[in-house]
Amino acid sequence: MGSRIVIKLAIWIAVLSILSAGISVYFTYTHGRALLIQSAKDKLATATQVLANRYSFFIADITKDLLFISQLPAINEIASSTEPQSAKHRERLATALAGFLRSHEEYNQVRFIGARDHGRELVRLDKSQNSVHIVEGLALQEKAHYSYIYNTLQLKPGNVFVSGIRLNKERGLLDGYGKPSVIVATPVYSPDNTVFGVIVINVDLEKMFSLIEIDVPEGIDVLATNSAGDYILHPDLEKTFGFDKGMRVLMQDDMPVSQRIFSGESSRLVAEVADLHSPEKQAVISLTKVPFATESDEKYIVLGLVSNLDTVLADSRELGVTSLKISITFGILFVLLSLILARKITTPLQRMASTFARFKQGDPVPELSTNREDELGQLARNFSIMAKKLNAQLHELNSQRQYLHKVAHHDALTGLPNRILLEDRIEQALISARRDKVEIAVMLVDLDGFKPINDKYGHDIGDKLLQECAARMLTCIRETDTAARYGGDEFMIIISARDLQLRGMSARHLSRQVAEKVRNALNQGFKIENYLLNISCSIGIALYPQDGDDKNTLIKHADIAMYYAKSTGRNNVKLYTDIQID
Amino acid sequence: MHYYLAKLPLLLILLLAPTVWAKEHLQILAWDGYADADLVREFEKRYQVDVKVTLVYSDDELWSKVTEPNSDSYDLIAVNTAELQRYIAKGLVRSLDTNTIPNLNHQLPRFKHREAIPGLVKSGQTYAIPYTYSEMGIIYNRKLVHQPPESINALWDPTYAGKVLAFNTSNHNFTLAALGSGIKNPFIQSPEQLRQSARRLVELRRNLLTFYSSPQEAVKLFKTQEIALIFANYGNQQLKALIDVGADVGYTMPQDGTLAWLDCWAALNEAGPLAEQWINFMLEEKASLRLTNAQGLANTIQESTAHHNANLIWLEPIENADARASLWDQIISGDVMERF
């Protein structure tokens, strides 16, 4: 029984600890995951802002470069010269610009274009395979029909035009044809305050973005779109510059959430989207609008970073696994502890239980661990007290029962068995006699002349006489025989001297001997309270099995024999058998 | 054992089924407004296929997309009758099964008689189905131009220097240049005539603001710059786009000849029967009327009210598209006159 409590207790503690561990793992996982995703979003948003700032600084740097060039003395010389085509001036400018172009790997062309002659290039430096070429003569082209010329020529000094980002389709540029580029230009004014020409820098967008993205960690994709949503930067090159290839690919179609940027609803956003490389995976996108401070074909571009959540989710998975491991370890520990605890509780209980099981009525109260201070000690102490009380009560009950038994089966005056017990004794004797095939004798003793004594001396004397008679009768019989008070002055004796009978003595003979002994004992005078009293007795004997084989027959026949004895002169012994013979 | 072997082909079919039964694809090269996204979706739904439409903005672009060695394999192109000839000559397009295009019966009689239209039928085989057509007139800004220009040479008029928009394409521009300088057959030019036309085009370039490619681009330029004349490569489609944004413009057909094109659907060699289904779909009333109502272009099932039957010169095959294209590359990039 003890082990069952151990198992139950262990199971419950285990279930509770696993449940609490599970709940804590679940919350650690989901909360940790949410925190990690939020932190990834925050980081990405910051990174995007950094990227956007860097893009703005980059454009600002180009602007500074342009303004710096526009202040070069060589520019001024050409702009104020009456002979702008003069080879000398142009050579000086070309030399100055060559160094400049060489030091900026992201620029692939620098030009000084005149407003006159349909936008004829005055000085043009092209980069091809990182070496700078000065373009001369007929190779110098007319560019007035390009937006970066006709727009820039309308600008005030110091202002800058930024072209839309597109694939360069101008023949003549060796390295740049078909490459994504952005063109930045500023006007040059002659001393008489008329617009003279334009300085144009052609920026290789791939190089520019590779400089901007320089510390974007691996696994993060950079996106850029123009203000209509056309991709100009995307890990899938097929998607970029769709507008230049006849098939527009818009970010709004790929990621509807980005519509908020293009509709003007917000200028930055962070959202969860499908990963660009494997759409079944999750990713986080951060977009920010980068407006152009200057005159431009486009009002703004949109820059974005996409980070797939693999690492973040792996982190959160790891967190989950770690907390799961810890929980399992502690769960096992709890189960072990619970086993020990259960054992600690149940061992004294078990000891008590087995003590209780052994405890019987009347046993001395067992010594339990009553010196313990806890509930178990209390239980043991209470049990001790209860056992003592129980013992006392049982003792009392036993005495009462013994008393009641005696009262019910014995004659109050003489202390001899009464008629009830007598009849029972006769039945018992008959049962053994039948079994052992031996004889028994039922002897009825009636006092002669008792009534006159009782009348003459009173009941007290009569009673005492009866007591004395009973005592004398007991001296005449063996312990195995029974003497009982049958009625007022009638006694009955049952003799079953089995041992003697086995040695060859008959019940007839034996009973006669005992009857004579009784008769003689009662014939002796009685001295009771200074009175000397003399009585005699008449005795009738019935034998089993000769005179009857049941109680009532035997008693009846003993009674008949006794009356016969009385009628033949009292103080006499008669056997029923003899009466019949007579 | 034999039982299982007998089941093997069935198993293989089941395994391969996804690839075998994958959706059919239809790749189309067309012009802005020819195949609106909702019509494409309707077709996709009706025939359970995937359609990819790529837009082109010039005949040069169309040709290079079809002939690029590692280009996508397209199924259908929208091409004008003149350009079509070089596709046929190179064996790029296949003949059409006209029996599977029941909507041909709804076309106007002059489009039904395909033999009467030069270049559509070769040795009894139909190679293209007319879809839409337009003349290429001149759009003028009523605020700046008070007299509708009567000659194509208005584009060269220094009065409008820096306020002219021309179209960025090689073939028509050389034809236009030749028309203006009175060359007899502007479509077939000798190398010397081509050189002369190139010089004319340099002059044109010097007189204009810029070249445009799409109708929307022209609209944007008209709104942001001072524009007097536009060579309307897209014809009425472009006129409608401008009027839709409230531009005060007129449209005129130069007397010395107005070029006109008839665009047709043609199927490239790789195309399956789905190509005919697409053409049939495009000739349905819905698609054809969309062309007119949304784009202002003529269709082939209803008589047009907006189209002038002035001195139209229908486009014809040109002598050497590559030569024109390479000269055009130089012109657009800004090469100086001395280079031609």
- Summarize pLDDT for B238-277 with one digit per residue, the tens: 998 999 999 999 999 888 878 989 999 999 998 899 999 9
What are the chain B neighbours of A245 within 8 Å (beta carbons)? 54
Asked if A170 lies within 8 A of B333 by C-beta distance, the reply is yes
| Chain A: residue whose CA lies nearest to B208 | A145
Q: What is the mean predicted confidence (pLDDT) over A505-517?
A: 88
CB A137 within 8 A of CB A87: no
Closest chain A residue to B205, measured at CA: A145
Taking only residues 66 to 125 of chain A, the set having a beta carbon closer than 8 angstroms to any beta carbon of chain B reads 118-121
**Is residue A170 within 8 angstroms of chain B, CB to CB?**
yes
CA B151 centroid distance within chain: 24
Residues in chain B with CB shorter than 8 Å from the CB of A121 are 334
Number of C-alpha atoms within 13 angstroms, CB side, residue A495? Answer: 28
Name the residue among A299, A300, A301, A295 with its Cα closest to residue A150.
A295
Q: Closest to B209 (Cβ–Cβ): which among A150, A169, A245?
A: A150
Are residues A119 and B55, on separate chains, in Cβ contact within 8 Å?
no
A contact residues 298-357, partner B, Cβ 8 Å cutoff: none
Distance between A62 CA and the closest CA of chain B, angstroms:
24
Task: Tell me which residue of B271, B267, B303 sits closest to B288, measured CA to CA.
Answer: B303
Share of chain A above pLDDT 90, in %: 30
Surface-to-core class of residue B155, CB atoms within 10 Å of its CB (0-12 exposed, 13-18 middle, 19+ buried): buried
Confidence check: pLDDT of B14 > 50: no
Looking at the complex, does the CB of residue A145 fall below 8 Å from at least one CB of chain B? yes
> Tokens 């041992």 label which residue?
A499
Asked if pLDDT for residue B17 goes beyond 50, the answer is: no
Distances, alpha carbon B160 to alpha carbons A113, A153, A182, B156, B229, in Å:
23, 18, 30, 8, 8
* Contact by Cβ (8 Å): A165, A180: yes
Q: Are A258 and A240 in contact, with CB atoms under 8 Å apart?
A: no
Q: Which of B61, B65, B205 sits opposite A145 (nearest CB)?
A: B205
Give how far B98 is from chain A: nearest CA, Å.
Answer: 29
Residues of B in contact with A246 (CB under 8 A): 29, 54-57, 61, 65
The ipTM assigned to this model is 0.80
Q: Do A145 and B209 touch (CB under 8 A)?
A: yes
The SS3 of residue A287 is strand
Residue A234 near residue A255 (C-beta atoms within 8 A): no
Q: How far is B307 from chain A (nearest CA, A)?
A: 28
Q: Are B297 and B132 spatial neighbours (Cβ–Cβ below 8 Å)?
A: yes
Ordered by where they begin, the domains of chain B are 2-133+260-308 (3.40.190.10), 135-259+314-339 (3.40.190.10)
Asked whether the predicted pLDDT for residue A290 surpasses 50, the reply is yes
Which has the closest alpha carbon to B324: B168, B170, B202, B195?
Answer: B170
**In this complex, which of B29, B210, B329 lies closest to A147 when CB atoms are compared?**
B210
pTM over 0.80: no
Tell me if A297 sits within 8 A of A183, measured CB to CB: no
Nearest-by-CA chain B residue for A146 = B210
State the average pLDDT for chain B. Answer: 87
A282 contacts A272 by C-beta, under 8 angstroms:
yes
The answer to whether B29 faces chain A, any CB pair under 8 Å, is yes
Mutate to test the interface with B, among A117, A143, A145 (most CBs of B within 10 A): A145
The tokens for A564 are 């016969």
CB contact under 8 A, A145 and B334: yes
Q: Residue B279: is its pLDDT beyond 90?
A: yes
Counting residues of chain A whose pLDDT is more than 70, the rounded percentage is: 96
Which residues 6+ apart lie within 8 Å of B24 measured at CB? B47, B48, B49, B50, B272, B274
Res A145 pLDDT > 50:
yes
Is A532 at the interface with chain B, CB within 8 A? no
What is the model's pLDDT at position B314? 86
Q: What's the whole-number average pLDDT of chain A?
A: 86
Nearest CA in chain B to A249: B54
Which one-letter DSSP state was computed for residue A137? G
From chain A, the residues in CB contact with B211 under 8 A are: 145
Q: Inspect the interface and report whether the beta carbons of B56 and A246 lie closer than 8 Å.
A: yes
Report yes or no: A154 and B209 within 8 Å, Cβ to Cβ: no
Mutate to test the interface with A, among B61, B204, B335 (most CBs of A within 10 A): B335
- Cβ within 8 Å, pair A142-B206: yes
Backbone angles phi, psi at A577, to 5 degrees: -55, -45
The one-letter code for the residue type at B320 is N
- Please list, in sequence order, all residues whose beta carbon lies within 8 angstroms of the beta carbon of residue A149, skipping any fewer than 6 positions away: A113, A119, A143, A185, A198, A200
Q: What is the rounded radius of gyration, in angstroms, for the C-alpha atoms of chain B?
A: 23
**What is the dihedral angle through the alpha carbons of B38, B43, B49, B55, rounded to the nearest 10 degrees?**
-60
- Cα(A517)–Cα(B312) distance, integer angstroms: 176
B210 touches chain A (CB under 8 A): yes
- Cβ–Cβ gap A142/B208 under 8 Å: no
Decide: A182 and A163 in contact? Cβ < 8 Å: yes
Q: Rounded mean pLDDT of B162-170?
A: 93
Q: Within a 10 A sphere around the Cβ of A577, how many other Cβ atoms?
A: 16
Separation of alpha carbons B340 and B336, rounded Å? 8
Give the pLDDT confidence score for residue B310 in this predicted structure: 62
For the stretch B107-132, pLDDT in tens is 988 888 888 888 899 888 999 999 99
DSSP A524: S
Best of B333, B337, B338 to mutate (most A CBs within 10 Å, chain A): B333
Band (A161; pLDDT cuts 50, 70, 90): very high
Contact list in B for residue A143 (CB cut-off 8 A) is 334
Tell me which residue in B54, B206, B330 faces A171 most closely, judged by beta carbons: B330
Classify residue B51 by its DSSP letter.
E
B54 touches chain A (CB under 8 A): yes
Res. A315 pLDDT band, cuts 50 70 90: confident
- Name every chain A residue with its beta carbon within 8 A of the beta carbon of B332: 169, 171
DSSP per residue, A52-110: HHHHHHHHHHHHHHHHHHHT-HHHHHHHH-S-TT-HHHHHHHHHHHHHHHHH-TTEEEE
Mean pLDDT of A326-337: 82
Residue with tokens 């008449």: A538
Higher-scoring residue by pLDDT: A427, A352 = A427
Give the chain B residue nearest A150 (alpha carbons). B209
| B216 touching chain A per CB within 8 A | no
Neighbours of A293 (CB within 10 A): 12
- State how far the Cα of B317 lies from the Cα of B31, in Å rounded to an integer: 19
Q: Which tops the pLDDT comparison, A297 or B281?
A: B281
**Is the CB of residue A245 less than 8 Å away from at least one CB of chain B?**
yes
pLDDT digits (tens, 9 = 90+) for B79-95: 999 999 999 999 999 99
Binned at pLDDT 50, 70 and 90, residue A437 comes out as: confident
For residue A487, what are its two tokens? 């009625």
Residue A205 in contact with residue A213, Cβ under 8 Å? no
Window 91-150 of B: residues touching A by CB (8 A cutoff) are: none
Looking at residues A500-506, what average pLDDT do you find? 77
Instruction: With H, G, I as helix, E, B as strand and everything else as coil, classify residue A286.
Output: strand
Beta bridge partners of A114: A197
Per-residue buried b or exposed e for A12-25, using 16+ beta carbons within 10 Å of the residue's own CB: ebbeebbeebeeeb
Query: Which of A16, A51, A4 has its CA nearest to residue A343?
Result: A4
Contact assignment for A172 to B334 by CB distance below 8 Å? yes
The answer to whether the Cβ–Cβ distance between A246 and B29 falls below 8 Å is yes
pLDDT of residue A580: 66
Structure tokens at A246: 């006849």
What is the pLDDT confidence band of residue A287, given thresholds at 50, 70 and 90?
A: very high
B26-59 b/e with 16+ CB inside 10 Å = b?
Answer: bbbbbbbbbbbeebbeebeeebeeebebbbbbbb
pLDDT of residue A277: 84
Q: Nearest-CA residue of chain A relative to B27?
A: A247
User: What pLDDT, on the 0 to 100 scale, is given for residue B24?
Assistant: 85
Residue A335 pLDDT grade (very low, low, confident, very high; cuts 50, 70, 90): confident
Dig out the tokens for A409 from the structure. Answer: 């089966």
Query: For residue B16, what pLDDT is reported?
Result: 46
pLDDT greater than 80 at residue A311: no
Q: In which band, very low, low, confident or very high, does the pLDDT at B60 lie, cut at 50, 70 and 90?
A: confident
Confidence (pLDDT) at B162: 93
For residues A28 and A320, is the Cβ–Cβ distance under 8 A? Answer: yes
Which of these ranges, A1-5, A251-255, A445-449, has the smallest mean pLDDT?
A1-5
What pLDDT does residue A538 have? 93
Confidence of residue B98 (pLDDT cuts 50, 70, 90): very high
C-beta of residue B136 within 8 angstroms of C-beta of residue B172: yes
Report angle CA A456, A462, A463 to the nearest 5 degrees: 155
- For residue A167, the cross-strand partners are A180
Cross-chain Cβ contact B334/A141 below 8 Å: yes
Q: How confident is the model at residue B198 (pLDDT cuts 50, 70, 90)?
A: very high
Q: What are phi and psi of A132, to 5 degrees?
A: -95, 130
Which of A171, A172, A247 lies closest to B54 in CB terms? A247
Query: Radius of gyration of chain A from Cα atoms?
Result: 67
The per-residue pLDDT for range A3-50, each reduced to its tens digit, is 677 777 777 877 887 788 788 888 888 888 888 888 888 988 998 998
Residues of A whose CB is below 8 A from B29: 246
Q: Does A141 touch chain B (CB under 8 A)?
A: yes
The position carrying tokens 């207790």 is: A9
Contacts of B169 in chain A (CB under 8 A): none
Asked whether the beta carbons of residue B55 and residue A247 sit closer than 8 angstroms, the reply is yes
Q: What is the pLDDT of residues B21-42, one digit of tens each?
A: 567 889 999 998 898 889 999 9
CB-based contact, B211 to chain A, within 8 Å? yes
pLDDT tens per residue across span A82-131 = 776 677 888 888 988 998 899 988 898 999 999 988 999 999 999 887 78
User: Any idea which residue has 């449209």 for tokens?
Assistant: B251
**Count of pairs with CB atoms under 8 A, one residue in A, one in B:** 60
**pLDDT at residue number B20:** 44
Contact of B297 with B33, CB cutoff 8 Å:
yes
Q: Is A164 on the interface with B (CB under 8 A)?
A: no
What is the pLDDT confidence band of residue A236, given thresholds at 50, 70 and 90? confident
Give CA separation, B4 vs A29, B8, B9, B10, in Å. Answer: 50, 6, 10, 10
| Closest residue in chain B to residue A154, using alpha carbons only | B225
- Read off the pLDDT band of B332 (50, 70, 90): very high
Q: Is B329 on the interface with A (CB under 8 A)?
A: yes
**Paired strand residues for A494:** A442, A482
Q: How many whole angstroms separate alpha carbon A518 and alpha carbon A566?
A: 15
Q: Which two tokens stand for residue B57?
A: 């903005």
Q: Parallel, antiparallel, or unpaired: how do β-strands A536-544 and A440-448 relate? A: antiparallel
B336–chain A Cβ distance below 8 A for any pair: yes
